[in-house]
Amino acid sequence: MQPRDFSLYGAVDLGARQAAAQRRQQAAQSPSQPGAPDPSAPGGNGLVIDVTEETFNTDVVERSRTTPVIMDLWAEWCGPCKQLSPVLEKLAAEAGGQWILAKVDVDANPQLSAALQVQSIPMVVAVIGGQLVDGFLGAMPEGQVRQWIGQVLEAAEKMGMQLSAPAGAAEDELDGAQADTDARLPGDGGPEMPVAYADARAAMERGDLDGAAQAFEQELAVNPADPVAKTGLAQVNLIRRVSSYDQAKARRDAAEHPADVEAQARVADIDMATGRIEEAFNRLLGVVRRTSGEERDQARVHLVGLFELLPPNDPQVKKARSALSSLLF
């Protein structure tokens, strides 16, 4: 069985995370060369590194320009993650530096999770030359993971990286052109790229979320049905909201005030940003079920806004839309 197809539908380019992360890094770095990895840090010279929003630029984007980086997005509560992570760590050790395993705790890094548009975990993505090129969702057997990694390394060699022949490489070659198309993001250089996408990307690179939102809004004013612009705007808005929350307080407030629509919406945002898609949808469906009038409409509007983060044909969106219709009609 081949690894499942994966697409970062409407996600933000990895490079778009650089500017904001780099500012935080430079403030914390010693006088050594800006952006240079600290060998004593979790993301030093190890084969398996822990990545945060602050170290993402150095440990993932910059490293991937010379060595493929495979990101393992996980959470402590995730059972399948605990099955997959040891497999990835074993294969990283076997590879001896041919590629780097970068582990991201989605709960501890909600903004990064939102930017990558994590829909469920475990989620594994390969990064080459600062770009997402391929990935898969869910735990897979070691043999299939090994085959997928072999394909990633073949793709890296096609992109000009000097790598030794990978152990246990897959027999089938990765279709590099298709992988690039699937992973290509608004503003990533396509010949028919709308100007608004380039503006949004530039704003994200500056760490200007308001500017990115404005660019997507301008595109939607011209093309209201543009799915990429709608997803991009929803994603930027989610990042802005989640970054302003005290997550522990938000969860306490929601537990103490189950009828408070805003409290429930905040936790739904946090769940959405950390890959708990079904939990986010079910939380707001529960609010719609328990409320009426303006409060019900407020919950409905927020839920529909979260739908925009995923492709319209996503099974979880279809299921939640159906449940919402049943509650309303």
Q: What are residue 125's DSSP bridge partners?
A: 71, 135
Q: Does residue 148 sit in helix, strand or coil?
A: helix
- pLDDT, residue 287, reads 94
- pLDDT, residue 205, reads 65
Q: What is d(CA 31, CA 3) in angstroms, rounded to the nearest whole number? A: 44
- pLDDT, residue 120, reads 82
Measured distance between the N- and C-terminal CA atoms of the chain, rounded to whole angstroms: 42
Q: What is d(CA 11, CA 309) in angstroms, rounded to the nearest whole number? A: 9
- Tokens at 167, concatenated: 């152990």
Q: Does residue 294 sit in helix, strand or coil?
A: helix
Q: What are residue 49's DSSP bridge partners?
A: 102
What is the signed CA dihedral for 252, 258, 259, 263, rounded to 10 degrees? 30
Burial of 104 (0-12, 13-18, 19+ CB in 10 A): buried
Given a contact cutoff of 8 angstroms between Cβ atoms, the answer to whether 285 and 298 are in contact is no
10-residue mean pLDDT profile of the chain (329 residues): values are 33 40 47 38 64 90 90 90 91 89 92 82 89 84 88 83 51 35 37 62 75 87 83 84 86 92 93 83 94 93 90 85 90
Given a contact cutoff of 8 angstroms between Cβ atoms, the answer to whether 150 and 168 are in contact is yes
Neighbours of 258 (CB within 10 A): 12
- For domain 195-328, give the fold: 1.25.40
Q: What is d(CA 308, CA 329) in angstroms, rounded to the nearest whole number? A: 21
Q: What are residue 72's DSSP bridge partners?
A: 103, 124
What is the residue extent of each domain of the chain? 14-183, 195-328
The C-alpha angle with vertex 66 and arms to 65 and 68, in degrees rounded to 5, equals: 85
Nearest alpha carbon to residue 282 among 263, 259, 303, 310 = 303
Distances (CA, A) of 184 to 77, 176, 179: 31, 12, 8
Amino acid present at 58: T
Residue numbers annotated as active site: 78, 81
Nearest alpha carbon to residue 302 among 284, 278, 321 = 284
Q: What are residue 132's DSSP bridge partners?
A: 127
pTM for this predicted structure: 0.51
- pLDDT, residue 194, reads 58
Report strand pairing: 123-128 vs 69-74: antiparallel
Q: Which CATH number fits domain 14-183: 3.40.30.10, 3.90.1150.10, 3.40.50.1820, 3.40.50.300?
A: 3.40.30.10
